[in-house]
Amino acid sequence: MTWITTFSGRHFDYADPDINSICITDIIHALSNECRYAGHCQEFYSVAQHSVLTSMIVPPEFYLEALLHDAAEAYCKDIPSPLKALLPDYRAIEERIDAVIRRKFHLPEKMSREVKRADLIMLATERRDLEIDTETFWPMLEGVPAADIKVYPMTPTQAARQFFSRWDKLTEEMNGF
């Protein structure tokens, strides 16, 4: 068996991800229950909240892409970058799933430079506000400023509501999916 049953009751097959098995409700539910930093932060801080905040610091033409930039983690989980680098097979699976999600929601084939930069800015912001390993030099953040926002961790339910609200606003402006 290479599939899981999602929150909405769909079967998502890792060996053959199908565009019809991708559902925004599943993405939001899973990301709101997924803690960033492998759970190694003082308070629960979800991938959903991170995604919403990332979508708020990019130019408008990148809002939706930034909101969904970690959507594959709804199916693969949020694995810390140092561990992911040691798992090339996992990275290939995640990239395959990301490609299906990008097709489903009409996003660029590859993550834009602006969204990658915003993701790093959010990393710097989260590190500052969540007080994560602030005494250690993180090479990927050299020269990366924190955003002019403050991160206040939300519960999974609050983060899901915030994500749904942002999704509804953005897709309504784009005439939906």
d(CA 141, CA 54): 16
Closest CA to 126 of 56, 66, 36: 36
* pLDDT tens by residue, the chain, 177 residues: 999 999 999 999 999 999 999 999 999 999 999 999 999 999 999 999 999 999 999 999 999 999 999 999 999 998 888 898 999 999 999 999 999 999 999 999 999 999 999 999 999 999 999 999 999 999 999 999 999 999 999 999 999 999 999 999 999 977 766
Q: What pLDDT, on the 0 to 100 scale, is given for residue 174?
A: 74
- Domains of the chain are 3-115+153-173 (1.10.3210.10)
Q: What pLDDT, on the 0 to 100 scale, is given for residue 173?
A: 79
Range list of H helices, 33-108: 47-55, 63-67, 73-76, 81-84, 88-104
Q: What pLDDT, on the 0 to 100 scale, is given for residue 80?
A: 87
d(CA 53, CA 7): 24
Cα Dmax for the chain = 46
The residues that bridge with 5 in the sheet, in sequence order, are 11
- Parallel, antiparallel or unpaired: strands 11-13 and 3-5: antiparallel
